[in-house]
């Protein structure tokens, strides 16, 4: 088909698809990059993923799957750099990509797909140098995060906002996870509506499947009987893991007899501003008097994570901001209902298969959790609907839509004679976005 990509350069500056999600800067972005690259390779499209080298032992190149190479670029010291330090290394990273580009023919790549604003800055340069289209996925946006800051969290810097605006202007196509994110790109960043396409992320439907709850609990060393509440994700104020502990404390205050049958599990590691207070959650559990019912678990690989989802009665996703909510869709694919904050992309991820809570007051959250724990038939019905809902979000469907956006970007660049997309003009707020069905 005309415009079909043969080779794609993906850029993920600050985190590698080879890293374990759930701690540091590794999260849903890692999963997105790895899964879409794998799916593209299965369609015969070669993918090179450029990411920063973080250890001296990291190989220059590694194969993720046949057809997908992870190319590690040296930019700054291997260790000790936070994501906030990386803008100062974008020149070095860009130089590394340009050097790598010398080893292939000039027309080797058909398209650049950058992930997160740091990668967008580099992708802008690479696409211009290689005279190909730039597709960009924000994943998170500074202006959105700053509108929904958790108490005590640090606002995103002005420099990031400016960088994001530049990437929005430079990209040939922008990928939004949901209709809501598409509106935010248009209204907060003046993106051209014709450049914005909605492509929901996916879930690994082979790994995250329903299973026997008792068997999952036994495998994880959890009590087979009783209630299990679960949080999965990076430990930082943005994700609001403290809400799970506060809800548990409120449940026990309302019904002290529940203590013998309640288990609260937190699977994840410190990230972002949470790195400055890595033991804050454990200290909160002690101060709330619930440390005896709380289990803290380091990030685990996906097959074990699926067991945690299956073992739980409810998964809480209380984030202050989420572009989609990968944890929510993974939990639902395992047949576990989700109680989530009514923010960002979570309404899309949860659909009618869970419960959305407005705001972050402990009372309403506890009410929602308590009601579901008491109403087992309703909980089981939500679990059944959750599996059906998640089935529509496989990574194959995501990648089919992504390939169509790639075609649009390639054909658009060819039609414009490789002119810079910056000259296309500014967006008109309120004009409908381009949606890939």
Question: Residue 436 corresponds to which tokens in the numbers above?
Answer: 């890939």
Find out whether 85 is annotated in a ligand binding site.
no
Between the alpha carbon of residue 141 and those of residues 164, 179, 270, 293, 321, the distances in Å are 8, 15, 20, 36, 10
| CA 252/CA 249 separation, integer angstroms | 5
Find out whether 14 is annotated in a ligand binding site.
yes
| CA 169/CA 11 separation, integer angstroms | 18
* CA quadruple 277, 281, 286, 292: dihedral sign: negative
Find out whether 72 is annotated in a ligand binding site.
no
Find out whether 27 is annotated in a ligand binding site.
yes
Find out whether 205 is annotated in a ligand binding site.
no
- Which of 232, 117, 181 lies closest to 433, judged by CA? 181
In sequence order, the 6+-apart residues with CB closer than 8 A to the CB of 372 are 313, 314, 337, 339, 355, 378, 379, 382
Find out whether 26 is annotated in a ligand binding site.
yes
- Which of 197, 243, 203 lies closest to 349, judged by CA? 203
Find out whether 30 is annotated in a ligand binding site.
yes
Find out whether 322 is annotated in a ligand binding site.
yes
Sheet arrangement for strand 434-435? 61-65, 68-73, 46-52, 7-11, 111-115, 133-137, 173-176, 196-198, 434-435
Residue 356: Cβ-neighbour burial (10 angstroms; 0-12, 13-18, 19+): middle
Find out whether 21 is annotated in a ligand binding site.
yes
| CA 93/CA 13 separation, integer angstroms | 8
b/e burial code for range 170-209 (CB count within 10 A of at least 16 → b)? bbbbbbbbbbbbbbbbbebbebbbbbbbbbbbbbbbeebe
Q: 5 near 44, Cβ under 8 Å?
A: no
Find out whether 160 is annotated in a ligand binding site.
yes
Find out whether 195 is annotated in a ligand binding site.
no
Find out whether 309 is annotated in a ligand binding site.
yes
Find out whether 145 is annotated in a ligand binding site.
no
Find out whether 312 is annotated in a ligand binding site.
yes
Dihedral angle of Cα 270, 275, 279, 283, to the nearest 10 degrees:
-100
The CB density around residue 120, as the number of other CB atoms within 10 Å, is 27
Find out whether 39 is annotated in a ligand binding site.
no
Find out whether 276 is annotated in a ligand binding site.
no
Find out whether 424 is annotated in a ligand binding site.
no
Residue count of the chain? 437
Find out whether 300 is annotated in a ligand binding site.
yes
| CA 107/CA 87 separation, integer angstroms | 28
Find out whether 116 is annotated in a ligand binding site.
yes
| CA 247/CA 307 separation, integer angstroms | 23
DSSP per residue, 86-105: GGGGHHHHHHHHHHHHTTS-
Find out whether 406 is annotated in a ligand binding site.
no
Binding residues for 1D-myo-inositol 3-phosphate: 14, 25-30, 83, 116, 140, 160
Give binding residues as ranges: 14, 20-21, 25-30, 83, 116, 140, 160, 234, 239, 300, 309-310, 312, 322, 330, 336
**Residue ranges of the binding site for UDP-N-acetyl-alpha-D-glucosamine:** 20-21, 28, 234, 239, 300, 322, 330
Annotated binding-site ranges for Mg(2+): 309-310, 312, 336
């Amino acid at each position: 088909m005309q415009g079909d990509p043969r080779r794609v350069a993906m850029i993920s500056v600050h985190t590698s698809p080879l890293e374990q999600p759930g701690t540091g800067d590794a999260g849903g972005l890692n999963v997105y990059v790895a899964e879409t690259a794998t799916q593209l390779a299965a369609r015969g499209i070669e993918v090179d993923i450029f990411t920063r080298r973080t250890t001296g032992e990291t190989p220059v190149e590694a194969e993720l799957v046949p057809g997908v190479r992870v190319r590690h670029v040296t930019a700054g010291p291997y260790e000790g750099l936070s994501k906030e330090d990386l803008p100062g290394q974008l020149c070095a990273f860009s130089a590394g990509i340009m050097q790598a580009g010398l080893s292939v023919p000039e027309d080797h790549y058909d398209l650049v797909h950058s992930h997160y604003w740091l990668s967008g800055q580099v992708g802008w340069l690479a696409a211009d140098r290689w005279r190909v289209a730039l597709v960009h996925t924000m994943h998170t946006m500074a202006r959105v995060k700053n509108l929904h800051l958790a108490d005590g969290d640090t606002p995103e810097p002005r420099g990031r906002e400016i960088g994001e605006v530049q990437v929005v202007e430079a990209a040939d196509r922008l990928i939004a996870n949901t209709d809501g994110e598409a509106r935010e790109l248009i209204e907060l960043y003046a993106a051209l509506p014709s450049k914005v396409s909605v492509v929901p992320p996916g879930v690994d439907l082979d790994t995250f499947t329903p299973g026997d709850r008792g068997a999952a609990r036994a495998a994880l060393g959890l009590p087979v009987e009783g209630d299990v509440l679960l949080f999965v994700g990076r430990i930082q104020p943005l994700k609001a893991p403290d809400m799970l502990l506060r809800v548990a404390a409120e449940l026990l205050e309302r019904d002290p007899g529940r203590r013998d049958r309640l288990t609260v599990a937190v699977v994840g590691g410190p990230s972002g501003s949470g790195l400055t207070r890595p033991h804050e959650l454990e200290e909160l559990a002690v101060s709330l008097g619930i440390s005896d019912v709380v289990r803290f678990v380091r990030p685990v690989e996906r097959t074990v994570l699926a067991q945690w989802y299956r073992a739980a009665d409810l998964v809480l996703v209380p984030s202050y901001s989420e572009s989609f909510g990968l944890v929510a869709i993974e939990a639902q694919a395992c047949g576990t209902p989700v109680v989530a904050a009514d923010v960002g992309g979570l309404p899309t991820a949860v659909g009618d298969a869970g419960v959305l809570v407005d705001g972050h007051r402990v009372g309403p959250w506890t009410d929602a959790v308590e009601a579901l724990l008491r109403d087992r038939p309703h909980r089981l019905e939500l679990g059944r609907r959750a599996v059906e809902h998640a089935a529509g979000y496989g990574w194959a469907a995501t990648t089919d839509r992504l390939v169509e956006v790639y075609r649009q970007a390639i054909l658009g660049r060819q039609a414009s004679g490789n002119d810079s997309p910056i000259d296309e003009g500014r967006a008109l707020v309120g004009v409908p976005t381009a949606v890939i069905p």
